[in-house]
């Protein structure tokens, strides 16, 4: 990661910090403001640390000596053996044991993007090394899975047979069949997302590990060529993925997404020209979105395009006309989150949660919080006059975007009508019946006796007691549009956690932790005091 970029990442003026704190409650329209004010302020530093711990619980493969989640053991150590390839490693996406390539790659892209923009904040909180480890656990696997220029191993395991069993990953007896995409069976969406993840990660490792960064970029460029040259949806080639991670948006958004990331990683205009030339035909300047997710990347790539203009990038200036169209669509999404469009806004629950759909809604709240935080940062860096342009409010300041991002983070951490933290292990109250096989069964290290496929259902899934292992840092699917939540292991729509729920919040928590600590320092300064004045221990003269 560029040290210059890291320093700029923490350069918001004190006026903005104060405005963010003042607007944090206003960003949660419709919630009980008095109760929110009275509630204890979230500990964003603790949330950041716990969020990174979660990724260690999701690891597949041989666990390293410094593994902190001690109730997990080695698993999936023969993955790829049937096909003669080494596919050991990577992440389980949620509470089951299939390694789905598309959400795994998106998870790593989001971790990397957050590290690029807010690396200084992450480092200041003491979590930089853990962030690198979380990213590298994914990128090491992606490099393994890219065995030939036009071959990528997209999935290990079969969702249908996996869901038939309730076992610890250490006891798996389900199929570990591996599935690939190639020239005859393309998967441009999956391959394009993986190219984006590797390109973004190459930026993160550029300073600390130049050789590794170069390796990641090499694979990213090859994968982009593969995705573009042999086009098709991955779930048409791999039928086993269709029922679980259907690529509804198709592959065009991932190709644009990868092109923007490769331009940022290489500086080569050919990638920017690709995104400009295909802006209209691939929907980049046509789709006005109210969702950003593992499937739909348009809002994210539109924000990347807008950044080129806000930064005054020379190559961006050459393509200003098209990039302004991208920026308009990015701002449509952000204005939709703020409720500042003429229609086509993101719904809010009575408690202030951004609501997109019933199943695992917090993934959309967390990704929205991320883009709001990022764009606020871009606007703040573009100068005092930079504003978000919304139909209802043509000059929205960066502080208002950040206030809404903070309200979503606070909602997740317990500032909601149920006063329940939706991050497991954070706060006094959180879900204890998380839909997660490994967490819900006694640890293999505590009891190594084999637990069979159906035995897990009989002895562990249906029992009413809390999970024996706490899945610290996991953000569950969360409540419905009315802020109702039922903590039941069978209620997988609400109690299952996914890596792509937590990944965007790593950067958000790091940023908010920095803002909170900076604001606390500012508030401890006393105006007009003279040397020798008696002050509280935490206060200083301004």
What is the set of active-site residues? 96, 435, 487, 496
Q: How far apart are CA 220 and CA 243, in angstroms?
A: 27
State both tokens at 420: 């329940």
**How far, CA to CA in Å, does 235 sit from each of 198, 199, 228, 242?**
21, 23, 16, 5
Helix (H) or strand (E) run with residue 156 in it: strand 152-156
Are the CB atoms for 105 and 194 separated by under 8 Å?
Answer: yes
Strand partners, 475: 423
Q: What angle do CA 372, 375, 376 make, to 5 degrees?
A: 80
- Which of 186, 192, 191, 188 shows the shortest CA–CA distance to 261? 192
The three-class DSSP label of residue 217 is helix
CA–CA separation, 119 vs 123, rounded Å? 6
Contact 218, 173 (CB under 8 A): no
**How many CA atoms are closer than 13 Å to the CA of 206, on its beta-carbon side?**
22
* Residues 380, 158: Cα–Cα separation, whole Å: 46
SS3 (DSSP) at 254: helix
Is 140 exposed, middle or buried, given 0-12, 13-18 or 19+ CB atoms closer than 10 A?
middle
Task: Give the whole-angstrom CA distance, residue 131 versus residue 503.
Answer: 10
DSSP letters, 333-346, are HHHHHHT-SSS---
Q: Strand 540-541 and strand 525-526: pairing? A: parallel
Helix extents (H) in 413-498: 437-440, 453-456, 492-495
330: left (phi over 0), alpha (psi -120 to 50) or beta: alpha
Phi/psi of residue 423, each to 5°?
Answer: -100, 120
Order of all β-strands in the sheet with 152-156: 99-100, 152-156, 178-181
Contacts of 379 (CB under 8 A, 6+ apart): 310, 386, 387, 388, 397, 398, 401
CB 223 within 8 A of CB 265: no
């Amino acid at each position: 990661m560029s040290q210059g970029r890291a320093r700029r990442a923490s350069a918001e003026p004190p006026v903005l910090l104060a405005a963010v704190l003042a607007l944090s409650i206003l960003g949660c329209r419709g919630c009980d403001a008095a109760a929110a004010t009275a509630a204890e302020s979230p500990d964003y530093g603790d949330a950041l640390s716990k969020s990174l711990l979660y990724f260690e619980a999701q690891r597949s493969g041989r666990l390293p000596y410094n593994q902190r989640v001690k109730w997990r053991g080695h698993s999936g150590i023969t993955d790829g053996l049937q096909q003669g390839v080494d596919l050991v490693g990577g992440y389980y996406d949620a509470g089951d044991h299939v390694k789905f390539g598309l959400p795994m790659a998106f998870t790593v892209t989001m971790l990397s993007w957050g590290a690029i923009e807010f690396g200084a904040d992450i480092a200041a909180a003491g979590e930089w090394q853990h962030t690198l480890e979380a990213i590298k656990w994914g990128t090491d696997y992606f490099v393994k899975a890219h065995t030939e220029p036009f071959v990528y191993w997209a999935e290990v395991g079969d969702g249908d047979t996996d869901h038939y069993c309730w076992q610890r990953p250490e006891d798996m007896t389900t199929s570990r069949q591996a599935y690939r995409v190639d020239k005859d069976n393309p998967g441009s969406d999956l391959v394009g997302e993986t190219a984006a993840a590797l390109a973004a990660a190459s930026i993160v490792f550029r300073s600390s590990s130049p050789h590794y960064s170069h390796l990641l970029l090499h694979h990213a460029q090859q994968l982009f060529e593969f995705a573009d040259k042999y086009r098709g949806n991955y779930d048409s080639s791999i039928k086993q993925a269709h029922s679980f991670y259907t690529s509804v948006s198709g592959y065009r958004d991932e190709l644009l997404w990868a092109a923007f990331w490769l331009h940022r990683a290489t500086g080569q205009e050919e990638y920017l020209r690709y995104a400009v030339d295909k802006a209209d035909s691939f929907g980049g300047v046509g789709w006005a979105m109210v969702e950003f997710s593992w499937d739909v990347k348009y809002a994210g790539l539109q924000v990347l395009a807008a950044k080129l203009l806000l930064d005054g990038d020379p190559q961006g200036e050459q393509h200003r006309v098209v990039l302004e169209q991208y920026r308009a669509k990015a701002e449509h999404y952000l204005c939709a989150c703020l409720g500042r469009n003429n229609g086509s806004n993101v719904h809010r629950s009575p408690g202030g949660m951004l609501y997109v759909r019933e199943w695992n809604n917090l993934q959309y709240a967390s990704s929205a919080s991320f883009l709001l935080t990022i764009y606020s940062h871009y606007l703040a860096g573009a100068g005092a006059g930079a504003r978000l342009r919304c139909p209802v409010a043509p000059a929205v300041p960066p502080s208002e975007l950040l206030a809404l991002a903070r309200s979503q983070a606070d909602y997740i951490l317990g500032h909601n009508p149920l006063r329940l933290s939706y991050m497991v292990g954070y706060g006094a109250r959180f879900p204890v019946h998380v839909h997660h096989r490994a967490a819900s069964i006694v640890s293999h290290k505590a009891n190594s006796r084999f637990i069979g496929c159906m035995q897990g259902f009989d002895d562990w899934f249906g029992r009413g007691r809390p999970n024996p292992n706490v899945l610290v840092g996991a953000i569950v699917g969360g409540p419905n549009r009315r802020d109702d939540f039922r903590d039941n292991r069978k209620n997988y729509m609400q109690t299952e956690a996914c890596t792509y729920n937590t990944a965007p919040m790593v950067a958000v928590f790091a940023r908010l932790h920095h803002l909170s600590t900076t604001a606390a320092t500012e508030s401890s300064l006393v105006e007009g005091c003279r040397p020798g004045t008696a002050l509280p221990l935490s206060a200083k003269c301004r």
